[in-house]
Amino acid sequence: MTNIIELKKVNKWFDKFQVLKEIDLEVKPKEKIVVCGPSGSGKSTLIRCINRLEEHQEGSIVVDGYEISENTKNIENIRAEVGMVFQQFNLFPHLSILENCTLAPIWVKKLPKKKAEELAMENLKRVQIVDQATKFPGQLSGGQQQRAAIARALCMEPKIMLFDEPTSALDPEMIKEVLDVMVDLAKGGMTMIVVTHEMGFAKEVADNMIFMDEGRIVERAKTNDFFENPKSDRTKLFLSQIL
């Protein structure tokens, strides 16, 4: 099977500070990858580079067959294929939940309004907040907002979903409802790259684990191997602290 995402020798600097160093990564369709590591290790930057919310300076990133730094005109089409869920939800506060979900399908994919609404209701049902559709984001709890954000991304019917610490800004009680939705999504066969510290979720869902530190991928392994016998000392130290 060909890779849906392929990173080769990606380097990125913020001014003089190098945040990504020689990153190589291949993701196959339907593969689930969990990225973990200490804060400041470049995990978020890595997945933000994949849909070019951040620009990398060296190396190549190929998403669904397109080299994204060459296709700058085409970048919106590539982004439409890649859904993203953020730590801070980033719902549009001036629009209702339903409008949040229909806006991009109507304006970017040019779906008729009615069809977009059907699609939105379907996805809201999937994340179990159909009853909140007419409310505004400010009226929802954090967990509901994050599920709405997942539904919004799903409405674009993306091939890949990127999750940037989706549960880090949530109360412990709400983390589970969001993780449940993500597990459900994973079982549905979505290609997922998830930056998270939720190791329970990782064990349940991930095919592969990636451990990053100081801008490098320190370890990449099958999920079982990663937790059972990690190779590098840095990984062992990290796991001993987090588990």
Partner 1 sequence: MKLNTLKPNKENLYTYLVLGVSLLAVGFIDIVTNTFLNLNITGFLPVIISFLSPLILGVFGLHFIRIEYSGNKTLDRINKNFNSNNINAILSLIVIFILIKYIPPLLNWLFFEANFLGSTKKDCTGDGACWVFVRVWFNRFMYGMYPDAEQWRINISFIALLVSIGSIFVLPSKFKKYIILFLLFIFPIIALNLISGGIFGLEWIETGAWGGLSLTFIVSAFALIFCFPIGVFLALGRRSDLPAIKYSSIGFIELWRGVPLITVLFMSAVMFPMFLPDGTYMDKLMRVIIAITLFEAAYMAEVVRGGLQALPRGQYDAAKSLGMGYWRMHLLIIMPQALKLVIPGIANTFLALVKDTPLIFVVGLLELAGMIGLAKTNPKWLGMATEGYVFAAFVFWIICFSMSRYSQNLEKKLSTDR
Chain contacts with partner 1 (rule: CB under 8 A) = 48, 51, 53, 76-77, 79-80, 82-84, 86, 88-94, 103-104, 107-109, 136, 138-139, 149, 152-153, 156
- Contact between residue 239 and residue 227 where contact means Cβ atoms under 8 Å apart: yes
For tokens 């890649």, the residue is 82
* Least distance from partner 1 to the Cβ atom of residue 85, Å: 9
- Rounded to an integer, what distance in angstroms lies between the CA atom of residue 187 and that of residue 150? 15
* Least distance from partner 1 to the Cβ atom of residue 59, Å: 21
- Provide φ and ψ at 201, rounded to 5°: -60, -45
* Least distance from partner 1 to the Cβ atom of residue 141, Å: 14
Compare residues 53 and 221 and give the one whose CB is closer to partner 1.
Answer: 53
Half-sphere exposure of 221 (CA within 13 A, CB side): 15
Enter the DSSP assignment of 145. H
Structure tokens given for 143:
């967990």
Q: At what angle do helices 113-126 and 142-154 cross, to 10 degrees?
A: 130
Number of C-beta neighbours around residue 199 at 10 A: 17
* Least distance from partner 1 to the Cβ atom of residue 54, Å: 10
Compare residues 77 and 224 and give the one whose CB is closer to partner 1.
Answer: 77
* Least distance from partner 1 to the Cβ atom of residue 65, Å: 17
Compare residues 36 and 148 and give the one whose CB is closer to partner 1.
Answer: 148
Compare residues 44 and 235 and give the one whose CB is closer to partner 1.
Answer: 44
- Contact between residue 44 and residue 97 where contact means Cβ atoms under 8 Å apart: no
Compare residues 133 and 209 and give the one whose CB is closer to partner 1.
Answer: 133
Number of C-beta neighbours around residue 24 at 10 A: 12
